Structure 1
Amino acid sequence: MSKYYISFSFIFIICLSVNGQIDLRNIKLKLKKTSNSSERVKLITEIINYYQNRNLSDSTFFYAEKLKYIADKNNDSLVHAKYYTLKAKTYYLNSDYINTEKFALKAIKIYRNNNLVEDVANTQLILGNIYQIQDNNKSALQNFTEALPYLKNKDKISGLLGLAAVHGQINNLEAALNYYNEAYKLSTTLNLEEYKFDIYNGLSAVYNNSGDYEKALESLEKALTETKKNNRYLAQVVCYHNIGYLQKNLKNFREAKVTFENGISIFNKISNTYMMASIYMYYSEVIAELGNISGAEDYILKSENLFNEINNSSTKPSILNIKAKIEGFKGDHYKAIDYLKQANSIKHIDDIEIAEKNKLLLANFYDKIGDVNNAYKAYKNYTQFKDSIRNSQNKQKIERLKLQFDISEYQQDLKTKEQELNLLNEAKKASNYRNTLLFLLACGLVTFIYRQRKLNKAKEFALIAEKKVITLKEEKLSSEMAVKNTEITEYAIHISERNRMLEYFTNEIKKIKAQSDNTEVKSQLQNLQFYAEENLDINREKIIYNSNIKNTEQSFISKLKEKYPNLTPKEIKVATYALLKMSSKTISNQMGISIQSVNNYRFTIRKKLNIPKNKSIDEYLRDLN
């Protein structure tokens, strides 16, 4: 069964530390009476936290400026840092991530200058969250990882959830599960039930991406149970939405219908128009599949009107897809085609999956009405779009592999820096001992030997780290080769499918040509037949060529590594392409490097393999293979 992705984002909001219920009037009264700067800073901070908790931005900014006035007046950098942090939190709550980053970085700079590691960590938590929302996973990971050792209680749970979300986004599912489980254990230990919803919701996304739909649904049911404990109605609707969507995609339409109806039953307790519109949209699709066509028409209209109210055009392709399906159930294929043509004319579509479905559905409807030419054109558009999507997905896979490699390098750098810091501390201690006992030659000698041993250990650590980097690079090369082989296999299957389609059209053209008496029509059909047969021959050659590439690479790389272990992964890659008689320009395009770099690699390969001047690299490599 293919893997489905739940449309509603499984993004949790990291809880910002704010005070609970306070006597705001009493605090403002105290603020008026006191002239002590420290007391005023404390009271203003409580007021700002109160307003932040209620998302009252104007009041928050007003009192933040009072804090800035005190900081400027006393030239107090730490009060400035507190001001920057509170501003960053407010901008974050208003989804202004540019200003959030700007003020958070200012605060971190001051905290670091004063060695306030816990304040640095709490501010990095804000940065990590905005980077995760913006899909800047590398920066998010860096901030969450650096902050985690210094976070406590609620903030530590938020840090673990942040790391889990980042690893989930880059498909490092095992790491994501580990962090969610750590967050669950800590929230249970601290008896903080309010985090259970985010944990279960996040776990469901991880299980869904891994294809374990049973566990995904189980986690969503647990998340729903948590929302019912304290009447979090919007969170309940989100759970009903996600459960129903997953059930719908698994073709469990009756279960999905009941789930969506449970969500609709509490619409009177929420004000989120987007969520209501989204549930109405998918509910109409479900009841259409169950045969309630008039009901489906009513609910798709409700959904469309709500989306229009909030000026949301991103769901238009989905709306038109469902309308086309409804018309299909009614037997009005021409009206269904009109809806799908509208959907396919939309230039900017966020949901690639629905765009692909609309193109294929249009080809199917043309086929149902017997319009062979338009069916062929629509199917051709669909296959071209699908090819471009596959290429894009393969590029994304490679980017994820690169990101995972970068993360491994970053984690290794952190360990190395930790070792360097330990060595630096040890060196400082050694220096203090040496200054104290300098007049004793014997003690000086002992100190020298001690330092030498430390340096030797450092070299050993560096050597181990270098070996790990080489291993990671080799693993990366293997992964890239695996991706490429998979891509070639999929490409061959795709061409085979296309050949079958072209053969079908060729046979149909021959039949039509034989039956037609019109000379002009016969001439056009002859041209179309020639085009189809020519594409068949080209596609067969492509299958043979790509098969040769796939068969050649693995055996050749194994021989090359065995005979010349000193070759780097990139040199092996260039040698493989050279064996396939690729030009330097083609190799540079394949590897994303300059032609000069390819020529440099060729020179290095020639030198390492001792290739004679009178022999070309590809000739030598063919002999070796």
Structure 2
Amino acid sequence: MNKQSYKYLILLTTSLLFNLSSNIAAQTNNTNDQIISLDSIDDNLKEAYKNLKYNVQVSERIARNTLLFSYELNYDYGIAHSNYIIASALSDSEFNKSEDYLIISSEYAKKINDSRLIARIEMLKGNINWYAKDFNESELRYKESEKLFKSIKNDSSIASVYNSLGILYSSQRKDSLALTYYNKSIQINQRFSNNYNLAINYINLGNFYLNRGAIYQAEDYLFKSLEVSQMGFSRLTPVIYTNLSQLNLNKKDFEKTIYYSHKSLNLLKANDYNGNAYSNKLLSEAFEQKSNFDSAYFYQKKYNYYNEKNFESQLDIRLIEKESEFVFQQKLKQKELTELKNQKRNLLILVTLLVSISVLILLYLIQYNRLIKKQKINDYLKNEKVKLLESLSSKRRESIFDKLKIKRKNDIINQTLQSINLLNKEFENETQKELSNKIISKLNFHKKYNGWLAFEKDFLQVHPNFIKKLNQKYPRLTHYEIRLCSFLKMNMSSKEISDILNITNESVVKSRTRLRKKLGITGTKKTIISLLNNL
């Protein structure tokens, strides 16, 4: 891979690292905004809890919006409590949906270890089962919430559980148990001056005795609840007046029935269709008992009007709830899709980054291995070069030594030849001269042979197979002609050859001519040397 490719990969990896770092930096920069948002979520939750007592629709709407923000910020506390509030708002009408939200709330409550919320969830499950008339399951849930509230020593909530158990047993006509738990709730609320819940206790006991025909006991508790409600809980007053109106209708005290119904109507808001309907119904019945049919008819019409309004209102509420649920689910799905896209994008960046880093590491390793191999080859060649140089130096020393030996021998031969030639002039006997000439001939032969030996040793090192190939191709060549071919292979001149062989230059030229014929060379274009070089 070339340098340009390396640069590209490095730039790609750097870019991916920068993008990843930018995402992390962006998340870090959003920390302060998240803290502000978390504070806003907590404030919204407080507002939603407050509205649970007064306007469940408003409470539900706030909780749904808060839930979206909580999911967006991964705020487990907000998710747990928002789901609980929505479940509470739906508990008396949409049982199944309420339970679905409670399941999510319970999951996150356990995740954040919110014991108080876990206990609240159990209590709300008891309420839902009571609305669904599953009294056994309702009792189990209330008992479980009682145990949980006791473990965290939340007496106010324990009082609420006892009040709910009183309602549960009252609806089952288990009067003894109902009264026991009502009284337990009253004792705790009195001890902690929880007047709002105390007023509710008295209302429930008033209704308990009213439903059983114990008029005076019912009246006593309703007046007690009226007294407590006037301490700042005016929202309960219309309900108490309505109950007193019902009580007096049962007593057939129609004047008081009319009196308390009017007091209730004066306090009820125009959009409290259910309360208005019930008060007008009591007025209609009271006037009917008094044989004032015009008034009875008038209030019956008003009762019908508010009853229809209440029905329409409930439909509108359900419609708003459905729309709100739809919008919420759409936003939730959109959020999940956005999160999924972000996760895919981050995963893609991470995978690409890992692949790029892996490729870079792989390329580095490949290049490193190449460098190592190249280094090894260079080291090997360097060592071989050193060995060859050492071998060459050694051979040169040997060659010099051999040449010195040959020169020395030749010097001795030359001196001997000179001495013999001098003696030969003094010989008169033919036999002596003949013997002397033989000695001279042998000495000249040895002189030539020594020159050839020196040349042959060097020649065979350079061209080890030349003589073998020459003999195979031209087996009729003599030893002299083979030597001549060897000299010519080394591109030696006739003069150089004549010096080595200790013969005349003309003899070498004649030998070359004979050699051309034996080698089959004709014409002037091809030379012996070119033929021998191709061999």
Deviations 1:47-102 (A, max 9, x none): xxxxxxxxxxxxxxxxxxxxxxxxxxxxxxxxxxxxxxxxxxxxxxxxxxxxxxxx
| Alpha-carbon shift at residue 127 of structure 1 (Å) | 4.8
| Alpha-carbon shift at residue 422 of structure 1 (Å) | 3.0
Matches within 5 A, 1:163-202: 163-169=83-89, 171=94, 172-183=97-108, 186=111, 193-202=115-124
Cα distance, 1:210–1:129 mapped onto 2, change above 3 Å: farther
Preserved CA contact (<8 Å) 1:244 1:256: yes
SS for the counterpart of 2:235 is: coil
**Percent of residue pairs identical:** 16
Cα distance, 1:147–1:271 mapped onto 2, change above 3 Å: farther
Cα distance, 1:294–1:165 mapped onto 2, change above 3 Å: same
Match of 1:301?
A: 223
Preserved CA contact (<8 Å) 1:124 1:144: no
Q: In the aligned structure 2, how far is the partner of 1:436 from the partner of 1:222?
A: 56
Match of 2:267?
A: 346
AA aligned to 1:126 is D
Cα distance, 1:184–1:257 mapped onto 2, change above 3 Å: same
Preserved CA contact (<8 Å) 1:160 1:180: yes
Are 2:287 and 1:366 aligned? yes
| Alpha-carbon shift at residue 386 of structure 1 (Å) | 0.9
Are 2:164 and 1:242 aligned? yes
Are 2:71 and 1:145 aligned? yes
| Alpha-carbon shift at residue 332 of structure 1 (Å) | 1.3
Preserved CA contact (<8 Å) 1:121 1:146: no
| Alpha-carbon shift at residue 230 of structure 1 (Å) | 5.1
Match of 1:381?
A: 302
Q: In the aligned structure 2, how far is the partner of 1:275 from the partner of 1:167?
A: 22
Cα distance, 1:351–1:240 mapped onto 2, change above 3 Å: farther
Unaligned runs of 5+ in 1: 1-109, 440-625
Preserved CA contact (<8 Å) 1:127 1:143: no
Matches within 5 A, 1:222-301: 222-229=144-151, 231-248=153-170, 255-301=177-223
AA aligned to 1:309 is M
Match of 1:559?
A: none
SS for the counterpart of 1:257 is: helix
Deviations 1:178-232 (A, max 9, x none): 2244257658xx6x75544222123234435555454334322322233344543
AA aligned to 1:173 is S
Aligned match for 1:326, one of 219, 241, 247: 247
AA aligned to 2:45 is N
Q: In the aligned structure 1, how far is the partner of 2:186 from the partner of 2:343?
A: 59
| Alpha-carbon shift at residue 416 of structure 1 (Å) | 1.6
Matches within 5 A, 1:466-615: none
Preserved CA contact (<8 Å) 2:115 2:152: no
Matches within 5 A, 1:127-138: 127=43, 129-130=45-46, 132-133=48-49, 134-135=59-60, 136-138=62-64
Match of 1:50?
A: none
Preserved CA contact (<8 Å) 1:184 1:199: no
Of 235-244 and 123-132, the range deviating more from structure 2: 123-132
Q: In the aligned structure 2, how far is the partner of 1:368 from the partner of 1:391?
A: 30
AA aligned to 2:196 is Y
Match of 1:160?
A: 80
Matches within 5 A, 1:46-125: 113-115=29-31, 123=39
AA aligned to 1:165 is I
SS for the counterpart of 1:348 is: coil
SS for the counterpart of 1:370 is: coil
Match of 1:532?
A: none
Q: Provide TM-score, normalisation by structure 2.
A: 0.52
Cα distance, 1:410–1:228 mapped onto 2, change above 3 Å: same
Cα distance, 1:329–1:258 mapped onto 2, change above 3 Å: farther
Q: In the aligned structure 1, how far is the partner of 2:175 from the partner of 2:277?
A: 22
Deviations 1:217-261 (A, max 9, x none): 432232223334454322122122233345556776665433312
| Alpha-carbon shift at residue 387 of structure 1 (Å) | 0.9
Deviations 1:117-141 (A, max 9, x none): 9957864652552464343133121
Q: In the aligned structure 2, how far is the partner of 1:213 from the partner of 1:116?
A: 49
Aligned length: 320
Aligned match for 1:204, one of 98, 104, 126: 126
SS for the counterpart of 2:230 is: helix
SS for the counterpart of 1:314 is: helix
Cα distance, 1:376–1:421 mapped onto 2, change above 3 Å: same
Cα distance, 1:213–1:437 mapped onto 2, change above 3 Å: closer
Match of 1:554?
A: none
Unaligned runs of 5+ in 2: 1-25, 50-58, 361-535
Preserved CA contact (<8 Å) 2:268 2:275: no
AA aligned to 1:301 is F
Preserved CA contact (<8 Å) 1:293 1:330: yes
Q: In the aligned structure 2, how far is the partner of 1:352 from the partner of 1:119?
A: 42
Q: Provide TM-score, normalisation by structure 1.
A: 0.45
Match of 2:395?
A: none
Q: In the aligned structure 1, how far is the partner of 2:153 from the partner of 2:344?
A: 54
Cα distance, 1:354–1:254 mapped onto 2, change above 3 Å: farther
Structure with greater contact order relative to length (CA < 8 Å, sep ≥ 6): 2
